[in-house]
Chains A and B, each alone.
Chain A
Amino acid sequence: MSDADTRLTLEQLHCERDDRVLFRGLSLTARAGEIWQITGANGAGKTTLLRILVGLHGFYDGGRHWWQPDWQRELLYLGHQPGVREELSPLENLDYACALNAQGGDAMAGLKAVGLQGFEDVPAAHLSAGQKRRIALARLWLAPKAIWVLDEPYTAIDQDGVAQLDARIQQAAEAGTLVIYTSHHQVGEGVRRLHLAKGRAEVLS
Protein backbone atom coordinates (compact mmCIF):
# COMPACT_ATOMS: atom_id res chain seq x y z
CA MET A 1 0.00 0.00 0.00
CA SER A 2 2.35 2.67 1.17
CA ASP A 3 4.94 2.44 -1.54
CA ALA A 4 7.21 5.30 -2.48
CA ASP A 5 4.72 6.60 -5.05
CA THR A 6 1.90 7.11 -2.60
CA ARG A 7 1.11 10.76 -2.16
CA LEU A 8 -2.25 10.84 -0.42
CA THR A 9 -4.19 8.34 1.66
CA LEU A 10 -7.75 8.87 2.83
CA GLU A 11 -9.14 6.57 5.49
CA GLN A 12 -12.85 6.44 6.21
CA LEU A 13 -13.24 10.14 5.60
CA HIS A 14 -16.58 11.40 6.85
CA CYS A 15 -17.93 14.91 6.57
CA GLU A 16 -21.27 16.46 7.42
CA ARG A 17 -22.42 19.96 6.73
CA ASP A 18 -25.64 21.65 7.66
CA ASP A 19 -27.21 18.41 8.77
CA ARG A 20 -26.32 16.60 5.58
CA VAL A 21 -23.76 13.85 5.10
CA LEU A 22 -21.56 14.93 2.22
CA PHE A 23 -19.62 11.71 2.16
CA ARG A 24 -18.89 8.83 4.49
CA GLY A 25 -16.42 6.01 4.48
CA LEU A 26 -14.30 7.60 1.79
CA SER A 27 -11.01 5.72 1.48
CA LEU A 28 -8.55 5.93 -1.33
CA THR A 29 -4.88 6.03 -2.16
CA ALA A 30 -3.61 8.49 -4.72
CA ARG A 31 -0.16 8.06 -6.23
CA ALA A 32 2.33 10.24 -8.00
CA GLY A 33 1.53 10.63 -11.67
CA GLU A 34 -2.17 9.93 -11.27
CA ILE A 35 -4.95 12.26 -12.31
CA TRP A 36 -8.06 12.20 -10.13
CA GLN A 37 -11.26 13.75 -11.35
CA ILE A 38 -13.90 14.45 -8.70
CA THR A 39 -17.43 14.66 -9.99
CA GLY A 40 -20.84 15.15 -8.42
CA ALA A 41 -23.88 17.39 -8.55
CA ASN A 42 -23.81 20.93 -7.25
CA GLY A 43 -23.61 20.85 -3.49
CA ALA A 44 -22.38 17.26 -3.43
CA GLY A 45 -19.31 18.34 -1.48
CA LYS A 46 -16.60 18.52 -4.13
CA THR A 47 -15.23 21.85 -2.98
CA THR A 48 -15.45 20.79 0.67
CA LEU A 49 -13.49 17.63 -0.11
CA LEU A 50 -10.74 19.64 -1.79
CA ARG A 51 -10.70 22.08 1.12
CA ILE A 52 -10.26 19.14 3.50
CA LEU A 53 -7.40 17.84 1.39
CA VAL A 54 -5.50 21.12 1.46
CA GLY A 55 -6.20 21.76 5.16
CA LEU A 56 -8.71 24.59 4.86
CA HIS A 57 -11.57 22.63 6.33
CA GLY A 58 -10.95 20.80 9.57
CA PHE A 59 -14.36 19.50 10.58
CA TYR A 60 -14.30 15.91 9.43
CA ASP A 61 -13.74 12.48 10.87
CA GLY A 62 -11.35 9.89 9.57
CA GLY A 63 -7.84 10.23 8.29
CA ARG A 64 -6.19 12.31 5.62
CA HIS A 65 -2.49 11.64 5.22
CA TRP A 66 -0.09 13.29 2.84
CA TRP A 67 3.13 11.47 2.21
CA GLN A 68 5.44 13.93 3.90
CA PRO A 69 5.09 16.35 6.81
CA ASP A 70 5.93 19.47 4.82
CA TRP A 71 3.57 18.58 2.00
CA GLN A 72 2.41 22.17 1.80
CA ARG A 73 5.71 23.11 0.18
CA GLU A 74 4.80 20.78 -2.65
CA LEU A 75 1.18 21.87 -2.95
CA LEU A 76 -0.26 23.95 -5.73
CA TYR A 77 -3.86 24.72 -4.82
CA LEU A 78 -6.21 26.74 -6.95
CA GLY A 79 -9.45 27.39 -5.11
CA HIS A 80 -12.99 27.92 -6.25
CA GLN A 81 -12.28 31.63 -6.64
CA PRO A 82 -9.19 32.44 -8.69
CA GLY A 83 -7.48 34.37 -5.86
CA VAL A 84 -6.99 37.46 -7.95
CA ARG A 85 -7.37 40.97 -6.59
CA GLU A 86 -8.80 43.42 -9.11
CA GLU A 87 -6.59 46.27 -7.92
CA LEU A 88 -3.49 44.39 -8.98
CA SER A 89 -2.14 43.51 -12.40
CA PRO A 90 -1.77 39.89 -13.48
CA LEU A 91 1.95 40.08 -12.85
CA GLU A 92 1.52 41.49 -9.33
CA ASN A 93 -1.11 38.91 -8.49
CA LEU A 94 1.12 36.12 -9.70
CA ASP A 95 4.20 37.43 -7.90
CA TYR A 96 2.31 37.49 -4.62
CA ALA A 97 0.98 33.96 -5.03
CA CYS A 98 4.45 32.70 -5.90
CA ALA A 99 6.15 34.51 -3.02
CA LEU A 100 3.71 33.01 -0.50
CA ASN A 101 4.02 29.55 -1.97
CA ALA A 102 7.78 29.66 -2.50
CA GLN A 103 7.21 28.83 -6.12
CA GLY A 104 9.97 29.83 -8.48
CA GLY A 105 9.82 30.28 -12.20
CA ASP A 106 9.48 33.01 -14.79
CA ALA A 107 6.15 34.75 -14.12
CA MET A 108 6.19 36.45 -17.51
CA ALA A 109 6.64 33.14 -19.26
CA GLY A 110 3.74 31.75 -17.25
CA LEU A 111 1.47 34.60 -18.27
CA LYS A 112 2.56 34.18 -21.84
CA ALA A 113 1.69 30.48 -21.70
CA VAL A 114 -1.88 31.27 -20.64
CA GLY A 115 -2.26 33.93 -23.31
CA LEU A 116 -2.02 36.99 -21.12
CA GLN A 117 0.96 38.46 -22.88
CA GLY A 118 0.37 42.16 -23.27
CA PHE A 119 -2.04 42.20 -20.33
CA GLU A 120 0.57 41.71 -17.62
CA ASP A 121 0.33 45.29 -16.37
CA VAL A 122 -3.39 45.89 -16.86
CA PRO A 123 -5.34 46.00 -13.57
CA ALA A 124 -7.23 42.73 -13.25
CA ALA A 125 -10.46 44.69 -12.87
CA HIS A 126 -10.33 45.26 -16.64
CA LEU A 127 -10.01 41.57 -17.45
CA SER A 128 -12.75 39.04 -18.13
CA ALA A 129 -13.62 36.19 -15.77
CA GLY A 130 -11.77 33.77 -18.01
CA GLN A 131 -8.68 35.94 -18.05
CA LYS A 132 -8.72 36.18 -14.26
CA ARG A 133 -8.90 32.41 -14.06
CA ARG A 134 -5.95 32.27 -16.42
CA ILE A 135 -3.88 34.41 -14.07
CA ALA A 136 -4.32 31.73 -11.44
CA LEU A 137 -3.69 28.96 -13.97
CA ALA A 138 -0.40 30.56 -14.99
CA ARG A 139 1.11 28.98 -11.88
CA LEU A 140 0.75 25.59 -13.55
CA TRP A 141 3.45 26.66 -15.99
CA LEU A 142 5.91 27.81 -13.32
CA ALA A 143 8.22 25.69 -11.17
CA PRO A 144 6.78 22.17 -10.78
CA LYS A 145 5.04 20.99 -7.60
CA ALA A 146 4.34 17.42 -6.55
CA ILE A 147 0.62 17.89 -5.94
CA TRP A 148 -1.90 19.97 -7.79
CA VAL A 149 -5.32 20.44 -6.25
CA LEU A 150 -7.53 22.38 -8.63
CA ASP A 151 -11.10 23.40 -7.92
CA GLU A 152 -13.02 23.80 -11.20
CA PRO A 153 -9.99 24.94 -13.18
CA TYR A 154 -12.00 24.92 -16.42
CA THR A 155 -14.53 27.51 -15.26
CA ALA A 156 -14.83 30.38 -17.75
CA ILE A 157 -12.05 28.97 -19.92
CA ASP A 158 -12.58 28.94 -23.70
CA GLN A 159 -12.15 25.91 -25.99
CA ASP A 160 -8.53 26.51 -26.90
CA GLY A 161 -7.73 27.08 -23.26
CA VAL A 162 -9.41 23.80 -22.31
CA ALA A 163 -7.29 21.84 -24.78
CA GLN A 164 -4.17 23.59 -23.58
CA LEU A 165 -5.01 22.89 -19.95
CA ASP A 166 -5.70 19.22 -20.74
CA ALA A 167 -2.28 18.94 -22.31
CA ARG A 168 -0.61 20.68 -19.41
CA ILE A 169 -2.24 18.47 -16.79
CA GLN A 170 -1.30 15.32 -18.65
CA GLN A 171 2.23 16.56 -19.11
CA ALA A 172 2.55 17.27 -15.40
CA ALA A 173 1.15 13.86 -14.49
CA GLU A 174 3.65 12.18 -16.77
CA ALA A 175 6.37 14.06 -14.96
CA GLY A 176 5.11 12.61 -11.66
CA THR A 177 2.69 15.21 -10.33
CA LEU A 178 -0.47 13.99 -8.60
CA VAL A 179 -3.34 16.04 -10.00
CA ILE A 180 -6.69 16.18 -8.20
CA TYR A 181 -9.35 18.35 -9.75
CA THR A 182 -13.07 18.91 -9.76
CA SER A 183 -14.90 19.36 -13.03
CA HIS A 184 -17.27 17.55 -15.33
CA HIS A 185 -14.67 17.78 -18.02
CA GLN A 186 -12.47 14.72 -18.35
CA VAL A 187 -8.84 15.49 -19.04
CA GLY A 188 -8.20 12.38 -21.10
CA GLU A 189 -7.84 8.61 -20.97
CA GLY A 190 -6.75 6.83 -17.85
CA VAL A 191 -8.10 9.41 -15.47
CA ARG A 192 -9.30 8.03 -12.17
CA ARG A 193 -12.71 9.25 -11.16
CA LEU A 194 -14.30 9.78 -7.77
CA HIS A 195 -18.02 10.44 -7.78
CA LEU A 196 -19.85 12.05 -4.87
CA ALA A 197 -23.60 11.58 -4.64
CA LYS A 198 -26.09 11.45 -1.79
CA GLY A 199 -23.52 10.95 0.91
CA ARG A 200 -21.72 8.20 -0.96
CA ALA A 201 -18.31 8.47 -2.50
CA GLU A 202 -17.51 5.97 -5.21
CA VAL A 203 -14.30 5.40 -7.08
CA LEU A 204 -15.63 4.76 -10.57
CA SER A 205 -12.46 4.09 -12.50
Chain B
Amino acid sequence: MSAFGAALKRELLVLWRSPAEMINPLFFFVMVISLFPLAISPKPEVLAVIAPGVLWVAALLAVMLSLDGLFRRDQESGVLELLLTAPVMAVVPVTAKLLAHWLLTGLPLVLVSPVLAHMLQLPNAVLGTVMLSLLLGTPALTIIGAIGAALTVGLNRGGILLAVLVLPLYIPVLIFGAGVIRAAAEGGAVNGILAILGALLALTASLGPLAVSAGLKISSGN
Protein backbone atom coordinates (compact mmCIF):
# COMPACT_ATOMS: atom_id res chain seq x y z
CA MET B 1 0.00 0.00 0.00
CA SER B 2 1.24 3.50 -0.66
CA ALA B 3 2.38 5.57 2.29
CA PHE B 4 -0.56 7.92 1.81
CA GLY B 5 -3.09 5.11 1.70
CA ALA B 6 -1.63 3.43 4.77
CA ALA B 7 -1.55 6.72 6.64
CA LEU B 8 -5.13 7.58 5.69
CA LYS B 9 -6.37 4.18 6.78
CA ARG B 10 -4.51 4.49 10.05
CA GLU B 11 -5.82 7.99 10.80
CA LEU B 12 -9.39 6.95 10.07
CA LEU B 13 -9.01 3.92 12.34
CA VAL B 14 -7.58 5.94 15.21
CA LEU B 15 -10.42 8.47 15.07
CA TRP B 16 -13.03 5.82 14.53
CA ARG B 17 -11.91 4.04 17.68
CA SER B 18 -12.09 7.17 19.83
CA PRO B 19 -15.68 8.11 19.04
CA ALA B 20 -15.79 10.93 21.58
CA GLU B 21 -13.29 12.94 19.57
CA MET B 22 -15.43 12.41 16.54
CA ILE B 23 -18.83 13.11 18.04
CA ASN B 24 -18.06 15.89 20.52
CA PRO B 25 -17.48 18.57 17.87
CA LEU B 26 -20.84 17.65 16.38
CA PHE B 27 -22.60 17.97 19.74
CA PHE B 28 -20.78 21.20 20.38
CA PHE B 29 -21.98 22.55 17.04
CA VAL B 30 -25.60 21.67 17.79
CA MET B 31 -25.49 22.93 21.37
CA VAL B 32 -23.88 26.27 20.58
CA ILE B 33 -26.44 26.91 17.88
CA SER B 34 -29.30 26.12 20.22
CA LEU B 35 -28.01 28.77 22.64
CA PHE B 36 -28.73 31.64 20.31
CA PRO B 37 -32.52 31.40 20.08
CA LEU B 38 -32.52 31.20 23.88
CA ALA B 39 -30.10 34.06 24.41
CA ILE B 40 -31.20 36.47 21.70
CA SER B 41 -34.74 35.79 20.65
CA PRO B 42 -36.78 32.87 19.38
CA LYS B 43 -38.61 35.17 16.94
CA PRO B 44 -38.30 33.79 13.41
CA GLU B 45 -37.54 37.15 11.83
CA VAL B 46 -34.66 37.77 14.25
CA LEU B 47 -33.29 34.24 13.87
CA ALA B 48 -33.35 34.37 10.11
CA VAL B 49 -31.13 37.46 10.22
CA ILE B 50 -28.53 36.04 12.57
CA ALA B 51 -28.71 32.45 11.30
CA PRO B 52 -25.88 32.61 8.70
CA GLY B 53 -23.48 34.10 11.22
CA VAL B 54 -24.54 31.76 14.01
CA LEU B 55 -24.13 28.68 11.84
CA TRP B 56 -20.71 29.78 10.72
CA VAL B 57 -19.37 30.93 14.06
CA ALA B 58 -20.53 27.68 15.64
CA ALA B 59 -18.96 25.59 12.87
CA LEU B 60 -15.74 27.56 13.13
CA LEU B 61 -15.49 27.06 16.89
CA ALA B 62 -16.38 23.37 16.62
CA VAL B 63 -13.63 22.79 14.05
CA MET B 64 -11.11 24.80 16.03
CA LEU B 65 -11.80 23.00 19.30
CA SER B 66 -11.58 19.63 17.60
CA LEU B 67 -8.07 20.50 16.45
CA ASP B 68 -6.55 21.01 19.85
CA GLY B 69 -5.76 17.32 20.15
CA LEU B 70 -4.94 16.79 16.49
CA PHE B 71 -1.24 16.14 17.04
CA ARG B 72 -1.05 15.94 20.82
CA ARG B 73 -1.60 12.21 21.25
CA ASP B 74 0.76 11.46 18.41
CA GLN B 75 3.34 13.66 20.05
CA GLU B 76 2.97 12.11 23.48
CA SER B 77 3.14 8.60 22.14
CA GLY B 78 6.17 9.26 19.95
CA VAL B 79 4.37 8.73 16.64
CA LEU B 80 5.22 12.27 15.58
CA GLU B 81 8.94 11.50 15.80
CA LEU B 82 8.35 8.44 13.68
CA LEU B 83 6.58 10.56 11.12
CA LEU B 84 9.27 13.25 11.04
CA THR B 85 12.19 10.84 10.72
CA ALA B 86 10.60 8.78 7.96
CA PRO B 87 12.05 8.96 4.45
CA VAL B 88 8.64 9.88 3.07
CA MET B 89 7.98 13.64 3.11
CA ALA B 90 6.06 14.68 6.20
CA VAL B 91 3.40 16.33 4.01
CA VAL B 92 2.15 12.92 2.94
CA PRO B 93 1.07 11.58 6.35
CA VAL B 94 0.08 15.11 7.40
CA THR B 95 -2.27 15.44 4.44
CA ALA B 96 -3.74 12.04 5.21
CA LYS B 97 -4.31 13.12 8.78
CA LEU B 98 -6.03 16.35 7.78
CA LEU B 99 -8.24 14.55 5.31
CA ALA B 100 -9.24 11.89 7.81
CA HIS B 101 -9.87 14.47 10.48
CA TRP B 102 -12.09 16.53 8.23
CA LEU B 103 -14.00 13.47 6.99
CA LEU B 104 -14.86 12.38 10.51
CA THR B 105 -15.30 15.72 12.28
CA GLY B 106 -15.93 18.37 9.61
CA LEU B 107 -18.16 16.51 7.21
CA PRO B 108 -20.70 15.57 9.94
CA LEU B 109 -21.17 19.29 10.62
CA VAL B 110 -21.93 19.81 6.95
CA LEU B 111 -24.42 16.96 7.00
CA VAL B 112 -26.43 18.18 9.99
CA SER B 113 -26.28 21.84 8.99
CA PRO B 114 -29.57 21.84 6.98
CA VAL B 115 -31.47 20.67 10.04
CA LEU B 116 -29.97 23.42 12.16
CA ALA B 117 -30.47 25.98 9.42
CA HIS B 118 -34.11 25.00 9.32
CA MET B 119 -34.38 25.33 13.10
CA LEU B 120 -32.91 28.82 12.74
CA GLN B 121 -35.78 29.63 10.37
CA LEU B 122 -33.77 29.92 7.20
CA PRO B 123 -35.93 29.31 4.12
CA ASN B 124 -35.68 25.87 2.56
CA ALA B 125 -34.36 27.30 -0.67
CA VAL B 126 -31.19 28.32 1.16
CA LEU B 127 -30.36 24.97 2.74
CA GLY B 128 -28.36 23.82 -0.26
CA THR B 129 -26.21 26.93 -0.08
CA VAL B 130 -25.71 26.38 3.66
CA MET B 131 -24.35 22.91 3.02
CA LEU B 132 -22.24 23.99 0.08
CA SER B 133 -20.69 26.88 1.98
CA LEU B 134 -19.75 24.59 4.87
CA LEU B 135 -18.55 21.91 2.49
CA LEU B 136 -16.09 24.36 0.97
CA GLY B 137 -15.32 26.21 4.15
CA THR B 138 -14.82 23.59 6.87
CA PRO B 139 -11.88 21.83 5.17
CA ALA B 140 -10.16 25.21 4.93
CA LEU B 141 -10.84 25.76 8.63
CA THR B 142 -9.37 22.35 9.44
CA ILE B 143 -6.20 23.03 7.48
CA ILE B 144 -5.65 26.56 8.78
CA GLY B 145 -6.34 25.45 12.34
CA ALA B 146 -3.91 22.57 11.95
CA ILE B 147 -1.12 25.08 11.37
CA GLY B 148 -1.86 26.53 14.80
CA ALA B 149 -2.17 23.05 16.30
CA ALA B 150 1.22 22.10 14.85
CA LEU B 151 2.89 25.20 16.29
CA THR B 152 1.44 24.63 19.76
CA VAL B 153 1.73 20.85 19.93
CA GLY B 154 4.45 20.65 22.54
CA LEU B 155 3.14 23.40 24.74
CA ASN B 156 0.55 21.70 26.96
CA ARG B 157 -1.61 24.77 27.03
CA GLY B 158 -3.21 24.45 23.63
CA GLY B 159 -6.82 25.59 23.88
CA ILE B 160 -6.83 29.31 24.37
CA LEU B 161 -3.46 29.93 22.73
CA LEU B 162 -4.60 28.00 19.68
CA ALA B 163 -7.66 30.23 19.50
CA VAL B 164 -5.56 33.39 19.72
CA LEU B 165 -3.34 32.19 16.88
CA VAL B 166 -6.00 30.77 14.64
CA LEU B 167 -9.11 32.95 14.95
CA PRO B 168 -7.64 35.92 13.03
CA LEU B 169 -6.70 33.51 10.24
CA TYR B 170 -10.28 32.24 10.08
CA ILE B 171 -11.81 35.61 9.34
CA PRO B 172 -11.82 35.53 5.52
CA VAL B 173 -13.42 32.08 5.45
CA LEU B 174 -15.98 33.23 8.00
CA ILE B 175 -16.82 36.36 6.04
CA PHE B 176 -17.39 34.61 2.74
CA GLY B 177 -18.97 31.51 4.29
CA ALA B 178 -21.59 33.44 6.22
CA GLY B 179 -21.80 35.99 3.40
CA VAL B 180 -22.86 33.48 0.81
CA ILE B 181 -25.70 32.20 3.00
CA ARG B 182 -26.84 35.74 3.64
CA ALA B 183 -26.68 36.55 -0.05
CA ALA B 184 -28.77 33.46 -0.82
CA ALA B 185 -31.31 34.33 1.88
CA GLU B 186 -31.66 37.78 0.36
CA GLY B 187 -32.11 36.26 -3.06
CA GLY B 188 -28.80 37.49 -4.41
CA ALA B 189 -26.24 35.76 -6.59
CA VAL B 190 -24.15 33.14 -4.84
CA ASN B 191 -21.92 31.61 -7.49
CA GLY B 192 -19.27 34.29 -7.34
CA ILE B 193 -18.99 34.04 -3.55
CA LEU B 194 -18.88 30.27 -3.68
CA ALA B 195 -16.07 30.59 -6.20
CA ILE B 196 -14.16 32.77 -3.73
CA LEU B 197 -14.71 30.18 -1.00
CA GLY B 198 -13.47 27.53 -3.41
CA ALA B 199 -10.41 29.63 -4.15
CA LEU B 200 -9.70 30.01 -0.43
CA LEU B 201 -9.98 26.24 -0.07
CA ALA B 202 -7.65 25.68 -3.01
CA LEU B 203 -5.11 28.06 -1.51
CA THR B 204 -5.20 26.49 1.94
CA ALA B 205 -5.26 22.94 0.59
CA SER B 206 -2.19 23.54 -1.56
CA LEU B 207 -0.04 25.51 0.89
CA GLY B 208 -1.57 24.48 4.21
CA PRO B 209 -0.17 20.95 4.53
CA LEU B 210 3.32 22.30 3.81
CA ALA B 211 2.91 24.89 6.55
CA VAL B 212 1.58 22.24 8.93
CA SER B 213 4.59 20.01 8.25
CA ALA B 214 6.95 22.94 8.74
CA GLY B 215 5.16 23.76 11.98
CA LEU B 216 5.56 20.21 13.26
CA LYS B 217 9.27 20.29 12.44
CA ILE B 218 9.69 23.58 14.26
CA SER B 219 7.83 22.23 17.27
CA SER B 220 10.04 19.17 17.33
CA GLY B 221 13.07 21.43 17.64
CA ASN B 222 14.16 22.20 14.14
Contacts and interface: CB of A to CB of B under 8 A. Distances in A.
Interface of A: 51, 54-59, 70, 72-73, 75, 77, 79-88, 92, 95-97, 99-102, 123
A95 B14 CA distance: 13
Contacts of B118: none
A57 B154 CA distance: 14
A88 B13 contact: yes
Contact of A56 (B7, B14, B18, B81): B81
Contact of A83 (B13, B17, B78, B221): B78
Contacts of A70: 87
A88 B78 contact: no
Given A59-B221, A85-B77, A96-B6, A54 B13 contact: no
B85 interface: yes
Contacts, number: 92
Contacts of B73: 85
Interface in B17-40: 17-18
B210 interface: no
Contact of A82 (B7, B78, B87): B78
Contacts of A56: 81, 84-85, 220-222
Interface in B117-163: none
Contact of B74 (A55, A59, A75, A85): A85
Contacts of B207: none
A81 B76 CA distance: 8
B87 A97 contact: no
